Each structure stands twice: as structure tokens, then as C-alpha cells.
Amino acid sequence: CYCYFEADGQKYCIYLRWRWDDPWTAQLVPVMQDGEFYSGPWEYLDVPDYIHDGYENLQKLCLRMISERFNNICWLQKPVAWYKVNC
């Protein structure tokens, strides 16, 4: 699942990933102007373990964490309209 936003002149993606052998992970990924992810290290967000069906709660937690961390957020999509890929 992906959710894009811009803050302080930088575009970011909140990237949620499910792996069958692990719980959900959440990463904050800087995005280049052409829309591609930076290849450098991505920041793992410190989130509790959520089971497969818990992604909606994880989405809400991540949105709250990002809203508390950044000022002047411009959501590049509605936060409730995550791009869902294998979610």
C-alpha cells in the first residue's frame, strides 16, 4: 500500500508492506521529482506488529505519525485512498 505526500519541499511515500513470513512493515520513502523512489536507505517507521487483517489500523497509525512529524503536509492523494497493491 502506498500513500504520497509532500512536506518541506520534499515528496514522500508511506510504503506499507506485508510479507507472509513477517508482519506488516511501514517505511517512509523519499520520492524524486520524476516519481521514482530514492534508492538510498528508507526509514522504517516504528510500528507495532499487525496481522494481515490489521492494515487499516496500521494505515491510521502511520497517518497520525506523519501528521505529528511534519508541518504543512500536502497530501498528493486523499489519505483514505491508499494505492493498494497486494494488500
Q: What percent of the chain has pLDDT over 70?
A: 85
The answer to whether residue 81 scores a pLDDT higher than 90 is no
State pTM to two decimals.
0.82
Residues whose CB is less than 8 angstroms from the CB of residue 2 and which lie 6 or more positions away in sequence, other chains included: 13, 14, 15, 16, 82, 83, 85
Q: What is the mean pLDDT of residues 37-64?
A: 86
Q: What is the mean pLDDT of residues 12-17?
A: 91
The answer to whether residue 27 scores a pLDDT higher than 90 is yes
The answer to whether residue 85 scores a pLDDT higher than 80 is no
What is the predicted pLDDT for the residue at 20? 72
